[in-house]
Structure 1
Amino acid sequence: MTTPHGQVVHYVDHGGEGPPVLLLHSYLMDSDMFAPQVQALGGQFRLITMDERGHGRTPLNGPFDFWDVAKDALSLLEHLEIQRASVVGVSQGGFIAMRMALLSPEKIATLAVLGSSAEAEDPEVAHAYRQAADLWQAEGPQEELLDGTAAICLGDMDASEWKAKWRALPGQHIKCINNVLIDRDDIVQRLAEIKCPTLVLHGTKDAAYPVANAELIAARIPKAAPVVIVEGGEHFLSLTHPEAVNPVLAEHLYATV
Structure 2
Amino acid sequence: MKSSRRDLVSLLPASGRLPDVKVPSGHLVDLPGRGTTFVTDSRGPDPDAPAILLLHALSTTGLLTWFPSIPALAKRFRVITMDQRMHGRGIQSSEFSLRDCADDAVAVLDALDIDRAIVAGYSMGSLITQRVWRQHPVRVGGLVLCAGTDQFQTTVTERLFHQGMGASFSRLRRGAPTVADLKAEPLDPNDDLRRWAITEFRSTRPLAVGRALAAIGKHHTKPWVHEIDVPTAVVIPLRDKAIPPERQRAMAQRIPGATVHEVDAGHSCCVMRADLFVPKLVEATNTVLARWAEKEQA
Q: TM-score range by the shorter chain?
A: 0.7 to 0.9
Partner of 2:56: 25
Q: 2:278 matched to 1:210? A: no
Asked if the contact 1:102/1:193 (under 8 Å) is kept, the reply is: no
Count of equivalent residues? 238
Contact 2:102 2:132 in 1 (8 A): yes
Q: Does 1:64 align with 2:96?
A: yes
Counterpart amino acid of residue 13 in structure 1? D
Correspondent of 2:270 among 209, 219, 238: 238
Deviation of 1:170 (Å): 4.1
SS in 2 for 1:47: strand
Match of 2:287 among 246, 252, 256: 252
3-state DSSP of counterpart to 1:228: strand
Task: Report the counterpart of residue 191 of structure 1 in structure 2.
Answer: 225
CA–CA distance in structure 1, aligned partners of residues 172 and 34 of structure 2? 31
Q: 1:170 to 1:25 in 2, by over 3 A?
A: closer
Task: Provide the rounded CA distance (Å) in 2 between the counterparts of 1:106 and 1:139.
Answer: 39
What is the TM-score with the length of structure 1 in the denominator? 0.82
Question: Which entry has the higher C-alpha Rg, 1 or 2?
Answer: 2
Contact 2:119 2:129 in 1 (8 A): yes
CA distance in 1 between counterparts of 2:81 and 2:286 reads 20
- Residue of structure 2 equivalent to 1:2: 30
Match 1:180 to one of 212, 215, 228: 215
- Aligned equivalent of 2:152: 120
Superposition deviation, residue 163 in structure 1: 4.9
Q: Using the alignment, how far apart are the partners of 1:179 and 1:173 within structure 2?
A: 10
Match of 2:262 in 1: 229
- What is the CA deviation profile of residues 17-38 of structure 1, one whole-angstrom value per residue up to 9, with x for unaligned ones? 2210001110011112211111
Summarize the alignment of residues 24-43 of structure 1 with structure 2, pairs less than 5 Å apart: 24-32=55-63, 33-43=65-75
CA deviation after TM superposition for structure 1 residue 62, in Å: 2.0
Mark the runs of 5 or more structure 1 residues left unpaired by the alignment: 142-158
Residue 193 of structure 1: how far off its partner (Å): 1.8
Distance in 1, matches of 2:90 and 2:291, equals 30
In structure 2, the CA distance between the partners of 1:246 and 1:170, relative to structure 1 (3 Å rule), is: closer
Question: Aligned pair in 2 of structure 1 residues 214, 174: CA closer, same or farther (>3 Å)?
Answer: closer
Q: Which whole-Å CA distance do the structure 2 matches of 1:230 and 1:170 have between them? A: 30
Report the alpha carbon displacement of residue 246 of structure 1 after superposing the two structures with TM.
3.6
| Counterpart position of 1:220 | 254
**What's the TM-score once normalised by structure 2's chain length?**
0.71
| RMSD (Å) for aligned C-alpha atoms | 2.5
**1:201: how far off?**
1.1
Q: Identify, as 1 or 2, the structure richer in helix.
A: 1
> SS of the residue aligned with 2:31?
coil
The DSSP-based 3-state class of the residue aligned with 1:86 is strand
Structure 1 residues 189 and 173: CA distance shift in structure 2, 3 A: closer
> CA separation of 1:43/1:132 partners in 2, compared to 1, >3 Å: closer, same or farther?
same
2: CA distance, partners of 1:73 / 1:85 = 11
Q: Which amino acid aligns with 2:116?
A: R
Identity of aligned residues (%): 24
